[in-house]
Structure 1
């Protein structure tokens, strides 16, 4: 063949060898690296530590790699590639080639051997092949994909190997060395290397550890290479060679340098040893075994405790030889001696709330002695910690209770007087003091003061020592009569007193303080009144006794009514129903309540009467009539209790027992059994008789207090009668539904009993009304006030009698009772309706309310004054007209004129009567009598007009005019008295308000001083100080606003207004200064000056003793005389003059002080400004004094030339 073919064939062979070389090397690399990586991974995972296995694996890697080398590289390179093979390769890869190339190559190789065919044809084939060879593309002969795949796989394997080396070079190196040197002990690198640490997170010592039995020992396990493994486990080897495993929990701890450590907590608790332990986890097979020896803990073998109580208790020392509870008074000295079971290095006493106390050791560290004092009350624990020579201590030393008992302060209370009371200056106050102390009383003293008592003890309280019955008594009852006479008290004084009990305790008391704890009783107050005021107070309390007697009498009457109904039921039916038994229980309870109301020691009527009589004696009030009256009342109440109340209760109880016995007997026999011998009815009759006697005694007791009818308030009694009458009427209708239309013979026993009971109730109501309207007995002697009350009561009863008589009320009630007896129900109901209507109509007249409100009273008095003035003018005109009509020169046809005059006079008399009734309802006794007298004069004048007697007409009409003028004066005086009382009340309220404002202002000044001290000490404003300043500013602002409201109250008092305005301006300046954070002397001075100005007003306002004037009735002003001069304007002028005097005195003092300051060489420039301000104040005071003097001259009607001129000083 041609050279072209030779060239192509050589090129094909050369490229084929290169491809086979690359592909073979790739597969050898893949095989070798892959096997090394895979077997290294297996070895790393399962740790193929056996040398034989690693040898086999190493030779396996080598054998497989050589096999692949031979198969994929050596053998293909050794194969000889002939031209025929080249031609076949070209034929497979070239589509244009055919089988001629292989044949031509064979023909060429045999040099056209005739055995293969015709030589000529062989040459033709060779030539044709040469032409084909010219078009052969060498690059398309071979496919490079298998080579590329092998190279890519080799690259991937190389990447995996490189990544493995980069990620864990030590592991990769170790794996390679373990395969290369299988006989060497090449260990894998570990991720876990455990070590044990002590409590300070330092490596644990290798020598044996010690602990006491039952004392937990804590060590820690740490991985020095990183994080702890999750399977960290504690392995224990017990003394009997038994093994245990426990999971160890982990945590984060910091060492002394602040570095954080992740450690496993190993807690060892052993009761016998030795014990061995180690920890393992992760790829760490475990630490070295650590030994733990268990030794006995130090303990106390004996203990003795000595207790020495405080010296003041005078109690002997005590001793106990066993450990346990220590109980003693605060201040008790405790000494503990004990012995230890082994030699100790140290010991400490632990007490809750106290620092550890070292214990003194002796006897080679086996003897312990410690002392301490019980310092506070309450229960706590104490224990002793022992430490031996090896530093071991008892794991859980026994704890014992330490109980400190407080010496409680003495308990003292005032048993008598039980409440505050009012007394006269010469009174005797009976004291009964009960004091107790757990260890004994050292002193008992009475403290009293007339100053206002706050929470702190007033420094000026006087002390009166009370005698002790023995030395250090634990219980004491002291009785003593406290004489107030030596104190020199005056009416209006308020005494605050209390009792202090002192014990001997000196524990916890400072050296310069008096020994003993002080127990203080509740405070009692004594209000000192004049003898007259105290007498009036006791008289008012006697009036309250009448109310109690009314209540007792009403309840006794109700109890008697129930007993009467039960008696009627028992007499007519010889049996009691279930509802009757309930009524009987109600009656018994009512009687018990009545007895309690009379005889109860704390709230009974008898005790109240005795208390009033005792107060008359103790207050040295000479009132023999009142004492005699109260003594008689006590005798009546004793008689009532001893003779009648007990008999009533016994009779009712016997009746109930008899009824219960009969009821039990009838229940057993299956039928109602009549009461034998009417014993129940007899008991009820006895009870009823005793109740009637009790009512009589109560009536005598009422008469002892001045006539019992005066005790009953007509309006309330009539209301009670109306209510009871309605109840009887309703019961009548209910019974009438069963008995209406029946004759007496057809009525059952029960129906007859019901009618009889209703008739008796109706009759009792009629008796109550008759008894109510009966005129009272005339008392032998009575005071003016009692006379007025009696007269008013008699007139009211007379009015009720006239009204009810006109309507036949009592007769209708008796008629209704008789109709009920005869079963005439319609007639009884009609009569009851008439009774209810009459009582209701009259009650409406009595329900006109009194004027308790001062404003309403003043308005009513003003209306009555106008009415009196109109009545006087009409009477004056009528008197003139009457004289003209009765004169001899009058018109002969004067009869009609006289008739008109008589009618007008009668109308004026009726108006005067109506006015008198109004005044009576207002409790205006003098004015009411004057109006009644004027009405009587007018009626006398009317009678004289009828007789046509000019002289009598003129005299009576003039006397009526005089009475009306006196009535006008009395109403004016009463109006002025109410105005004075209102003014005094207003001034007292103003004084209390201003005193409160002054106290609060002074307190704000004190807080400002404290705030200034704190701010000055700190040198700057902190947030707490600013908050305090804000609070002070708000409080000062509020105080200023409250003071502004008081300016309207004193708008008519110019001087007071000026002082309050000045205080207001000072408060405003304090507010402005506080807003600017100025809390220095100027601000504090403004606050204190404002408080002083307010107190100056308080000092001139009415003192407390003026309160008694409210209850003092005004004396009547004689006809034609002016009202008293101490009117409200005059009181206001006097008040302002006193205030001006104080202001002038203050100005004088300040003038002297400023003059002294001005004379000094280093006088401040502010002195001149203060003097100018003082001059302005002096001018204001002068102008106010001039205005007050003018007001006084105008109020007294003095000549105007007495007033000072503008250029004069008053």
Structure 2
């Protein structure tokens, strides 16, 4: 390097050193000012957040948002206000320009000297003179003032000191606030504390309450305080819905019975959406409280599985529960349901049976159906919401009906001979099926003899006609009635059994007891003779009535039905009705005659002539008169046939009726004769027995003598 060049650099150096000193002082003051501003910003944010958090009890999410916002704002403010200048490159030319603005009189020499610090030439001498002069006149202390940094430092000291003093005076509050800045959920200590009743704290620390959508909701807060003077006069409740709906209400005060506590409530008519609540009263703050409106659990399907009693022999059925109202007594019913939501439990009132829950399915096993029951099921889902109203289910048992049974004798009417053969009629029925039917008999209240009539094989009805032969003195080999004699009384009954095994004893029903009196053949014939005589007297009255009705037909024969159709119809109708009634009476007489024939046959009376006469000469003709002749006559009268023809047919009927009456009189005479003969025979037999007995007694006396 040339001497001139070296001299130039050396001559300008004092001036550059002064510029460097100004640059260093500027950067130092900017750094001090930036630090002080940061302290001021942090302290101001600390106090602001403290005031907001204490006043509004900010939730954790909002505190986090405010911290982030405050940090970003502080960083942005520091950067744009001082950070850019502190960290920007400051060239000598820029410092020279800045000094020129501070000292206008030095502007030209300063800028020229700095810009020509590395120049060579004739003007070097002049530049050196200027540089020496400027280096001596520059004072960095006068150019860079410390007044503004001192203000920021003072503010920083005051604010930071206030924080330190507050921390010393209120260490508990400071510690609590620092924990809350660290996003802890510790509440502020207040003179009044608000407690939300029924709310649950979630994992993120927020109090929430689930309620059924559309259901009324009562918000209840409990204010706790130490002194009566601290009791809040009112509690304000603010809410904001998910649909941006907002509102405010004053909660109703309910003074508590516990000292230091007061309840405040607010009723919401219907919770139709999710919303948040904030409450404040006195110095207490509470919120946000989340209310979640969720749908209630409902039964989408409910079936009843019915296990019938074993005696019914019916397979298990599964049908819709709504269709089940009654089941046979002794059945076991299990309810199988599917719900719209997962369940935690099912409450049943009254508490009967057992309940099992598996996610959305439920199983309710009811006790054996012996008495009517009605239950109400309340479903509680995993969110704690219950179904409303409860689902009702009622069930009543159908008790097993005992069998019904009737026992009748077909051919006898209260009296029998020792040789009789009884034809019986048994009709039995049961709602679920019979297992067996038995017949029982005893003589004079003695030992009862039973025999099975039939195995019903679970049929719901049974009709049988067993025969009982008294002459054999046994019921088909299953029990001896002993030797029967006149005067004995036989008691007959039938019993039907069903398969019901719910009770300790089987279900059975016994028919009414039939009592039969044992008589001799002579006594039976006397009774039959009396019945036949009564039958003849009754039929004679029917015959007399028929003769009168024939006279009416004869009168009509002399006076035809006439041209008046209505009058003719009335006249013929009256006559036809009279003959129709006579036909019914005649058929009744024929039935009575048949009954006499059957009774004689059933009792094994050895009188074939009597049976033949009653059957062929009385019962048969009466049946022909009542079922053929008289109905034919009625048909002709109804059709208004020629009166003369009707009169002729009526005459035929009367002739047949008279012939039957004559036969009845003959039978009466025959019966009287037979009874007399039987009386003589019986008397002779009695005399012979007494003579034989007397002879045996005399012989015994002679032997003893």
Q: 1:195 to 1:536 in 2, by over 3 A?
A: farther
CA RMSD of aligned residues (A): 4.9
Contact residue 213 and residue 295 of structure 1 kept, 8 A: yes
Matched, 1:464 2:454: no
SS at match of 2:487: coil
Q: 1:501 aligns with which of 481, 496, 510?
A: 496
* Structure 1 position 695 matched with structure 2 position 654: yes
Q: What corresponds to 1:412 in structure 2?
A: 405
Gap change, CA 1:330 and 1:614, over 3 Å in 2: same
Give the counterpart of 1:481 among 462, 467, 472: 467
Native 8 Å contact 1:216 1:395 kept in 2: no
How far off its partner does 1:588 sit?
Answer: 0.6
Match of 2:424 among 431, 437, 440: 431
What does 1:519-534 align with in structure 2 at a 5 Å threshold?
A: 519-534=509-524
Report the TM-score when normalising by structure 2. 0.53
Does 2:603 align with 1:619? yes
Q: Tell me the distance in 2 between the aligned counterparts of 1:447 and 1:575.
A: 68
Question: How far does residue 479 in structure 1 lie from its aligned partner after superposition?
Answer: 1.2
* Contiguous gaps of at least 5 residues in structure 2: 1-193, 199-205, 229-236, 280-285, 474-480, 678-682, 684-705
One of 348, 355, 359 as aligned partner of 2:355:
359
- Matched ranges for 1:824-835 at <5 A: none
Alignment-derived partner of residue 673 in structure 2: 783
User: Is the 8 Å Cα contact of residues 325 and 402 (structure 1) preserved in structure 2?
Assistant: no
Q: Deviations over 1:892-937 (max 9, x none)?
A: xxxxxxxxxxxxxxxxxxxxxxxxxxxxxxxxxxxxxxxxxxxxxx
Deviation at 1:221, TM superposition (A): 11
Deviation of the 1:422 alpha carbon: 2.5
Matches for 1:298-313 after TM superposition, within 5 Å? 298-301=297-300, 305-313=304-312
Structure 1 residues 699-722: Cα deviation after superposition (integer angstroms, max 9, x where no partner): 1111111169x9xxxxxxxxxxxx
Which digits, 9 at most, give the CA deviation of each residue in 1:857-904, with x for residues without a partner? xxxxxxxxxxxxxxxxxxxxxxxxxxxxxxxxxxxxxxxxxxxxxxxx
Question: Per-residue CA shift, 1:479-509, capped at 9, x if unaligned?
Answer: 1112234123443343333222112222x22
Distance 1:323 1:420, change over 3 A: same
- For 2:605, what is the secondary structure of its paired residue? coil
Partner of 2:581: 593
Matched with 1:650 is 635
Shift of 1:465: 0.8
Contact (CA 8 Å) 1:414, 1:521: kept in 2 or not?
Answer: yes
**Alignment partner for residue 363 of structure 2, among 333, 355, 369?**
369
- In structure 1, the partner of 2:66 is none
CA deviations over 1:4-42 (Å, ceiling 9, x no partner): xxxxxxxxxxxxxxxxxxxxxxxxxxxxxxxxxxxxxxx
CA positional deviation for 1:648: 0.6
Deviation at 1:360, TM superposition (A): 2.3
| Cα distance per residue 1:34-79 (max 9 Å; x no partner) | xxxxxxxxxxxxxxxxxxxxxxxxxxxxxxxxxxxxxxxxxxxxxx
5+ residue gaps, structure 1: 1-193, 199-205, 226-233, 279-286, 453-458, 656-679, 711-778, 788-1114, 1116-1210
1:426 is displaced (CA, Å) by 3.0
Contact 2:274 2:290 in 1 (8 A): no
Is contact 1:348–1:356 with CA below 8 Å preserved after alignment? no
Give the match's secondary structure for 2:665.
coil
The 1:236/1:575 distance shift into structure 2, 3 A limit, reads farther
Q: 1:369 to 1:625 in 2, by over 3 A?
A: same
How many Å apart are 1:263 and its aligned residue? 12
Change in Cα spacing, 1:243 to 1:598, as seen in structure 2 (3 Å) is: farther
TM-score by length of 1: 0.33
Greater percentage in strand: 2
Aligned residue runs from structure 1 range 115-514, under 5 A: 208-213=208-213, 215=215, 241=245, 268-274=269-275, 292-301=291-300, 305-320=304-319, 324-326=322-324, 328-349=327-348, 355-362=351-358, 365-372=359-366, 374-376=368-370, 381-382=374-375, 384-402=377-395, 404-414=397-407, 416-417=409-410, 421-450=414-443, 461-468=448-455, 471-485=457-471, 486=473, 487-488=481-482, 489-506=484-501, 508-510=502-504, 513=505
CA gap 1:273/1:262 in 2 versus in 1, 3 angstroms: closer
Deviations 1:89-132 (A, max 9, x none): xxxxxxxxxxxxxxxxxxxxxxxxxxxxxxxxxxxxxxxxxxxx
Q: Which whole-Å deviations, capped at 9, do the CAs of 1:219-240 have from their partners, x for residues lacking one?
A: 8999999xxxxxxxx9999876
8 Å contact from structure 2 (residues 417, 524) kept in 1:
yes
2:620 counterpart of 1:630 = no
SS of 1:697's equivalent in the other structure is helix
CA distance in 2, matches of 1:473, 1:238: 70
The offset of 1:691, in angstroms, is 1.2
Q: CA deviation at 1:636?
A: 1.6
Matched, 1:566 2:561: no
Shift of 1:209: 4.1
Q: Aligned to 1:395, what secondary structure does the other structure show?
A: coil
Return closer, same or farther for 1:431/1:223 CA change in 2, 3 Å cut-off. Answer: farther
Please give the secondary structure, in 2, of the residue aligned with 1:426.
coil
Indicate conservation of the 8 Å contact 1:416/1:433, yes or no: no
Task: Give runs of aligned pairs for residues 676-715 of structure 1, distance below 5 A.
Answer: 680=641, 682=642, 684-706=643-665
Distance, in Å, in 2 between the alignment partners of 1:291 and 1:568 is 112
* 1:643 Cα deviation after fit: 4.6
Q: Note the C-alpha offset of 1:560.
A: 0.9
Looking at structure 2, the residues matched to 339 and 300 of structure 1 have their Cα atoms a distance apart, in angstroms, of 6
| Residue 544 in structure 1 maps to residue 529 in structure 2 | no
Equivalent runs, 1:1156-1175 vs 2, <5 Å: none
What SS does the corresponding residue of 1:582 show, helix, strand or coil? helix
Q: Are 1:445 and 1:464, in contact at CA under 8 Å, matched by a contact in 2?
A: yes
Task: Report the alpha carbon displacement of residue 519 of structure 1 after superposing the two structures with TM.
Answer: 3.1
Q: Note closer, same or farther for the CA distance 1:419–1:381 as it changes in structure 2 (3 Å cut).
A: farther
Give the Cα separation in 1 of the matches to 2:467 and 2:270.
77
Structure 1 partner of 2:140 = none
TM-aligned CA deviation for residue 549 of structure 1? 0.3
After TM superposition, give the deviation of residue 338 of structure 1 in Å: 4.0
Where do 1:700-849 residues align within 5 Å? 700-706=659-665, 782-783=672-673
Higher normalized contact order (CA 8 Å, seq sep 6+, divided by chain length) = 2
- Do the aligned partners of residues 395 and 422 (structure 1) sit closer, same or farther apart at CA in structure 2, a change above 3 Å counting? same
Q: Note closer, same or farther for the CA distance 1:589–1:388 as it changes in structure 2 (3 Å cut).
A: same
Once the 2 structures are TM-superposed, how far is the Cα of residue 637 of structure 1 from its aligned partner?
Answer: 0.9
DSSP-derived class of the 1:706 partner: helix
Determine the C-alpha separation between the residues in 1 that align with 2:241 and 2:485.
97
User: Aligned residues, how many?
Assistant: 449
After TM superposition, list the pairs within 5 Å mapping 1:686-1085 onto structure 2: 686-706=645-665, 782-783=672-673
Secondary structure of 2:466's counterpart equals strand
